Amino acid sequence: MSNSRFILTIKTDSYVGNFDRDLTAYCFGWFSEFVHETFSEAFEKEEGEIDLHLINTNDEHGATCCQIDGNSNHLLVYFARNPQKHLDLIKRRLLAFSKVYSKYHEYDRKIKIKGISLYEEVITEKLILEEKL
């Protein structure tokens, strides 16, 4: 039996810990208590109700759907289903994010989205032992 999840890596020129939750709210419609209301309302208002099947997880700050990669300029976003059919929407929102973000946060420079990669992580279960007792 196998199971999979999908991981979108977003590569930026900045430390993503400064804006990860705002980015996921604006670009994917994911909401949390730590998100500026402008970003949390923007996705549904501009795109309608779209379920991207994000996987909720937790970090030291609470609920999230993403994780900072070992390279602190890369953000990993987790999906239960392949988001490939929504990639045009995701790319458009990623490119618009830095402009919107700079309006609401004093940031010394514009955030640049350098690229994305989409991975499928396949988890396989293998029976190792089965015996009657």
pLDDT confidence bin for 22, thresholds 50/70/90 = confident
User: What total of structural domains would you count in the chain?
Assistant: 1
13 in any annotated domain? yes
Return the CATH number at 28: 3.30.70
| pLDDT tens profile 4-13 | 899 999 999 9
Tell me the pTM.
0.84
| pLDDT tens profile 65-108 | 888 888 799 999 999 999 999 999 999 999 999 888 877 776 55
132 in any annotated domain? no
50 in any annotated domain? yes
Question: Which domain range does residue 42 map to?
Answer: 2-124
Residue 12 contacts residue 68 (beta carbons within 8 Å): no
133 in any annotated domain? no
Q: Which of 123, 99, 112 is nearest to 10 (CA)?
A: 112
How confident is the model at residue 30, as a pLDDT? 82
130 in any annotated domain? no
129 in any annotated domain? no
